[in-house]
A and B are shown apart, each in its own frame.
Chain A
Amino acid sequence: MRTWLVAEFAGEPELLAAARALRARGHADLDLHSGVPLHGAEEALGLRRSIVPRLALAGGLSGAVAGYLLQWWTVGVDFPINLGNRPPHSPPAFVPITFELGVLVAAGTIFLGLFALWGLPRLHHPVFEVEAFRSATIDGLWLSAGVEAEEADGVAAELERLGARRIERVPEEGEP
């Protein structure tokens, strides 16, 4: 059975060092929580490059292609209208909509893609039961580790040794 430990650290160097140390011991399910940007967090956690830019590019390109095809089909082929005596298929006139739809779909892909990647819309998480963890959105520096229940005590001791000034166990979901 999995359980989560959250540990608060006094400073950035200790926090990052703890993440590195736990990762070196084979713990992969780690995360850092902070109200301010943490330089070097990706490296300490061994994170791979985010896929969001690729999603955005794919979204933007498909939006642009769809936008162009939409205009080409409606104005150019299916129902040609004489506008200012231009040919029905006038590429320059189609560019603004093509651009706008590219931007719109790229932005929408980022927005919804992040929702999906973050597991939203999720309204509650057991970690909210840990009162002290709320400081992670203000000035607290926290590390969370997902571990097997039987090794939780060992990891807690390890965290303490690494300088955590406070360690909490996240209650299981469904428990009071």
Chain B
Amino acid sequence: MNPTPFAGGRRVVWSSAAVAVVGLGLTALGGRADPRQALFSYLVAFVDWLGTALGALVLLGALHASRARWPVVLRRFLETVPLTLPLFAALFVPIALGLRDLYPWVDPRGAELIRRVAHLRPYLNVPAFLARAGLYFAIWIAVAELLRRWSVAQDRSGALALTLRQRRLGAASLPLLALSLSFAAFDWMMSLDPRFHSTIFGVYWFAGSFLAAFAVLAIAAAVTRRSPGQFGHALNADHTHALGKFVLAFTAFWAYIAFSQFMLIWIANLPDEVPWYLVRAGGGWRAVGIGLAVGHFLVPFFVLLSRDLKRDPRRLARVAGWLLVAHWVDVWWVIMPRLHPGGPRPSWMDLTAFVGVGAAALAVLVLRMRGAAPIPVRDPYLEESLRYQPR
């Protein structure tokens, strides 16, 4: 295999950095006229892309924990996706500055809301909120950087001890990631409506994010399939098939989690929880909710049943692109009704924020791919992974 560090991608870095500057700049400009719309659009984009990076980190930890051998060839890419997390820590600053406009508990007005959030004060207050965000990012960045550092160190030394170390950290990180992800979802999305609480909410965000991480993986595999040395080039049809099966499985998993949360709240019909769905499954947002059931589950599920499609990197990447958009709609549907309870009011800032944050993440991703081999060249299981042929 090609052991030379990846040195290309300069054009991708610069062009996506330029797109990021334009997208985020336009969103900031829009924020001067309508700060709340800009902040909400930005929060949607932030949560959407950050979740994708975290999904990749959880997947990496899970692959180490399960000692998976077949995905070794795509592990280096998977290690690099979470290296965008420091960027997201920086991108958190606008949210921290706009807390007052985003979260009603920061400055509760009206007797009803004050009564609702009074007992949540010890948890939902600005210093604790920011401290927790710092803690989440500290955990995520530490795990991501360590796993990647040990993996790259193995490229040079070939030491088997490094494989063991990655497995231990990968397994040990999973509970930490699960809890921090869950609480991040509570803090950043669920607390938009302090009355609403759902213990499965973190899992719901994770389910969509994990699917998005697989989608990014499938797209990257298709994009790099003609670049010798890149991981996409080294994949055979069975690798692509396995990725496709994961995409199918987690499409179903997302539907299972999303529907479980909905059905339990709908059937219990309790006044604290059900208004959250009254806004989203009734009125103008109803069409979006039904659209999610169709576009985020039914259509991709039946399309992905095809074996030929799952074995074809290009067609799989197209479905993956569709799912990335569907996942954004899902996050938009969760967050935006807080701002527009009457029905969807798409804003151009939704688009600029989505493209801006995504392009910034892509720029950092490709930048951090440089300087390391595109696949873990001295991993003891690389040969086995390249020969992967299941059954």
Interface residues of A (CB under 8 A from B): 37, 39, 49, 53, 57, 84, 86, 92-93, 95-96
Does A92 contact B307, Cβ atoms closer than 8 Å? no
Q: With A53-B307, A95-B259 given, is the CB distance from A39 to B389 under 8 Å?
A: yes
In the assembled complex, B262 has its CB within 8 A of some CB on chain A: yes
| In-complex Cβ contact of B267 among A39, A49, A53, A84 (8 A) | A84
Q: Which A residues touch B269, using CB under 8 A?
A: 84
Interface residues of B (CB under 8 A from A): 259, 262-263, 266-267, 269, 305, 307, 389, 391
| In-complex Cβ contact of B263 among A37, A49, A84, A92 (8 A) | A92
Which A-B residue pairs are the 5 nearest by beta carbons?
A37-B391, A92-B263, A39-B389, A92-B266, A93-B267
Does A92 contact B389, Cβ atoms closer than 8 Å? no
Q: With A53-B307, A57-B305 given, is the CB distance from A92 to B391 under 8 Å?
A: no
Complex Cα spacing A92 to B281, Å:
12
Q: Which B residues touch A93, using CB under 8 A?
A: 263, 267
Contact sample, A vs B, 12 pairs, CB 8 Å cutoff: A37-B391, A39-B391, A49-B307, A53-B305, A53-B307, A57-B305, A84-B267, A92-B263, A92-B266, A92-B267, A93-B263, A96-B263
Does A95 contact B263, Cβ atoms closer than 8 Å? yes
Q: Which A residues touch B307, using CB under 8 A?
A: 49, 53
Q: Which B residues touch A57, using CB under 8 A?
A: 305
Closest Cβ of chain B: how far from A44's Cβ, in Å? 14
Closest Cβ of chain A: how far from B48's Cβ, in Å? 26
Complex Cα spacing A30 to B269, Å:
62
Q: Which B residues touch A37, using CB under 8 A?
A: 391
Complex Cα spacing A37 to B267, Å:
48
Complex Cα spacing A49 to B306, Å:
12
* Interface of chain A, main secondary structure: helix
Given contacts A92-B267, A93-B263, 5 further A-B contacts (CB under 8 A): A37-B391, A39-B389, A84-B267, A93-B267, A95-B263
Complex Cα spacing A134 to B300, Å:
45
Q: Which B residues touch A96, using CB under 8 A?
A: 263
Closest Cβ of chain B: how far from A59's Cβ, in Å? 13
Complex Cα spacing A18 to B292, Å:
53
Closest Cβ of chain A: how far from B367's Cβ, in Å? 40
* Interface of chain B, main secondary structure: helix
Closest Cβ of chain A: how far from B297's Cβ, in Å? 12
Q: Which A residues touch B266, using CB under 8 A?
A: 92
Closest Cβ of chain B: how far from A58's Cβ, in Å? 12
Which partner residue on chain A sits nearest B306 by CB separation? Answer: A53
Complex Cα spacing A39 to B267, Å:
50
Q: Which A residues touch B259, using CB under 8 A?
A: 92, 95
Which partner residue on chain A sits nearest B259 by CB separation? Answer: A95
Complex Cα spacing A39 to B391, Å:
8
Q: Which B residues touch A86, using CB under 8 A?
A: 267
Closest Cβ of chain B: how far from A63's Cβ, in Å? 16
Closest Cβ of chain A: how far from B286's Cβ, in Å? 13
Complex Cα spacing A95 to B389, Å:
37
Complex Cα spacing A93 to B265, Å:
12
Complex Cα spacing A95 to B391, Å:
33
Q: Which A residues touch B389, using CB under 8 A?
A: 39
| In-complex Cβ contact of B262 among A39, A49, A84, A92 (8 A) | A92
Q: Which A residues touch B263, using CB under 8 A?
A: 92-93, 95-96
Which partner residue on chain B sits nearest A93 by CB separation? Answer: B267
Which partner residue on chain A sits nearest B268 by CB separation? Answer: A84
Closest Cβ of chain A: how far from B75's Cβ, in Å? 24
Q: Which A residues touch B262, using CB under 8 A?
A: 92
Complex Cα spacing A49 to B391, Å:
15
Complex Cα spacing A92 to B267, Å:
9
Which partner residue on chain A sits nearest B390 by CB separation? Answer: A37
Closest Cβ of chain B: how far from A51's Cβ, in Å? 13
Which partner residue on chain A sits nearest B269 by CB separation? Answer: A84
Which partner residue on chain B sits nearest A85 by CB separation? Answer: B269
Which partner residue on chain A sits nearest B266 by CB separation? Answer: A92
Which partner residue on chain B sits nearest A57 by CB separation? Answer: B305
Closest Cβ of chain A: how far from B372's Cβ, in Å? 33
Q: Which A residues touch B267, using CB under 8 A?
A: 84, 86, 92-93
Complex Cα spacing A84 to B263, Å:
13
Which partner residue on chain B sits nearest A56 by CB separation? Answer: B305
Q: Which A residues touch B305, using CB under 8 A?
A: 53, 57
Closest Cβ of chain B: how far from A87's Cβ, in Å? 12
Complex Cα spacing A84 to B262, Å:
16
Closest Cβ of chain B: how far from A135's Cβ, in Å? 21
Q: Which A residues touch B391, using CB under 8 A?
A: 37, 39
Complex Cα spacing A39 to B307, Å:
18
Complex Cα spacing A53 to B263, Å:
30
Closest Cβ of chain A: how far from B301's Cβ, in Å? 11
Complex Cα spacing A37 to B263, Å:
43
Complex Cα spacing A48 to B273, Å:
53
Complex Cα spacing A140 to B269, Å:
62
Closest Cβ of chain A: how far from B287's Cβ, in Å? 16
Complex Cα spacing A96 to B307, Å:
27
